Each structure stands twice: as C-alpha cells, then as structure tokens.
Amino acid sequence: MFKSHSKLFNLQDNVAGPCMDKPAEIRCASCIMDTSYYFNGLSIEAKRDLQPGLSLKLFNKKEMLYKEGDVSSHLYILLSGEVKVYKTLPNGKQQIHKLVQIPGDLIACEDLYLETHGSSAEALNDVSVCHLKCEDLQNSTERFREISDTMMQAMSRSLNAYIRHIANLGQKNALERLASYIVFLSETHHERHLKSSYLQDSLSRLELADMLGVTQRTLIRSIKQLESDRCISINKDGFCILNLQELEIISSGI
C-alpha cells in the first residue's frame, strides 16, 4: 500500500500520509494521526500499522456516539465538531465530565479496557470522527509497544481532568468554578499550540451550569461579573479572554 506512494511521505516529518486505501469521497487530506496531540509522536511505522483500521463516521447534532452501558468496541478520534461525555444521575440530570473539542482528541479512551461504556457521548453539533476497533488497537499495541504508552498518557489526562473538575465542584464558589473552567480551556488550547484568546463553547447555559454544579441563574450572574471586570467578553459561540492573569487569580480562590 505505502510503497507505491513513497514519494508522498517525508520520513523526517514522521508523517503517515493520506489513507490511500479509502474511497476518494471519504478520504482525509492528511491522516489525523499526523496532527493529533496523542498520536503525532508515534513512529511512522506505528502510525501506518494503525491507519488501515481507521474508519470515518459522521454524527448529526444531538446524535449519540454511544450510551452508558453500550458495548465498548471502538476508540474515537475527533476530526471536527464537539462532543460532550457525561453520566446520567438518578434525578435525570447530566453530569458532564468531559468536553472533546480539539481535532485529534480521543473519545472513549477511558473505556478501552472495559466491556461496556461507563458514560454517554453526544454530538453537540455536526461531528466527524475516525474510529478504530479496540481489537485492532490491541493487535497494533502488541506489535508496537509505544502505542500503549500513548494510550496511558491519554487516559491519565482524562483522569486528571475529571479529578480537577471534582475538586472545583467541592472547594470553589460559582465565580471561581467558572474562572477555573475558562482557564482550563485556555491551557488545553495552549498546550495544543492553538490560539487561546478565543475559546469556542457549544454548551448551553443549562449544560454549563450542570457541569459546574451551580444553578443557571448563578452561572449567568457569574458570567456577567467576569464581563463587568473585563476578564472575558462573550458572543454566541464562546468566550474571549481579555485578562487571563486575573482569571487565574480568581480561579485560585485568593
């Protein structure tokens, strides 16, 4: 497969290249693994071993990628759109514990070694992903040990984000929780070398309030406070950070 297209690949750039075995109408311009925060550091041999198992899948807004209790059979790599990952509480409310917004980020990595999904994943808008069967991933991992290191880093990141979220719920007031959330988004974008002053957020005010563990009214009051203090500006698509240093001070509770 790859020998006939060898001139397209620059081994020094560690690029796996387009999925040449896929039909043209669903072929990516370049493989998501070449730019993914989690996969771009893999050797070209490891990426090419994973690549044939990747398949494109599209989801409409509000469509479920999977539900809590479904059989866990795939790892999803975000191409475009936004996905919320949540658990449904006994009272019917959603506890959102993860937002997947950056192309190349992983969905369902925390369920890789479970028989069923421990949470649900829903498209916040039109979403495209590449997905990989867990069985194929495990086979590639046996051939390339570096892949398992990548998966461990991904799951550690997911766990740390959730721990951080729980800590924010338990120890901070509403304004501090909101500031912490915006700072976290900024840090995540900066770590991926993306522009961090503007942060897209497709959650409704009710969803964001549930995620932060506050009432919708309290959330709106906190947003207005941060706007009034010239820490952020708001438009219909998200937040624009005006004073990151002040947000960090507020989020710390000082």
Residues of the chain with CATH 2.60.120.10: 19-161
| Model pLDDT, residue 181 | 85
Structural contact between residues 14 and 44, judged by C-beta atoms closer than 8 angstroms: yes
Q: What is the pTM of this model?
A: 0.75
Which whole-number Å values give the CA distances from 247 to 148, 183, 216, 243, in the listed order?
Answer: 36, 7, 20, 6
| Model pLDDT, residue 134 | 92
Distance, CA of 75 to CA of 107 (rounded, Å):
6
Q: Which CATH class is domain 19-161?
A: mainly beta
3-state secondary structure of 208: helix
At 196-207, the pLDDT tens digits run 567 777 788 888
| Model pLDDT, residue 90 | 87
Q: Using DSSP bridges, classify how beta strands 198-200 and 74-80 pair: parallel, antiparallel or unpaired.
A: unpaired
| Model pLDDT, residue 11 | 37
Q: Any idea which fold 173-252 has?
A: Arc Repressor Mutant, subunit A (1.10.10)
Structural contact between residues 143 and 43, judged by C-beta atoms closer than 8 angstroms: no
At 160-190, the pLDDT tens digits run 877 776 776 678 899 999 998 888 778 766 5
Low-confidence ranges of the chain (pLDDT < 70): 1-30, 165, 168-169, 188-197, 254
Residues of the chain with CATH 1.10.10.10: 173-252
Q: What average pLDDT does the chain have?
A: 82
Position 56: which residue type?
A: L
| Model pLDDT, residue 144 | 94
- Give the single-character DSSP code of 203: -
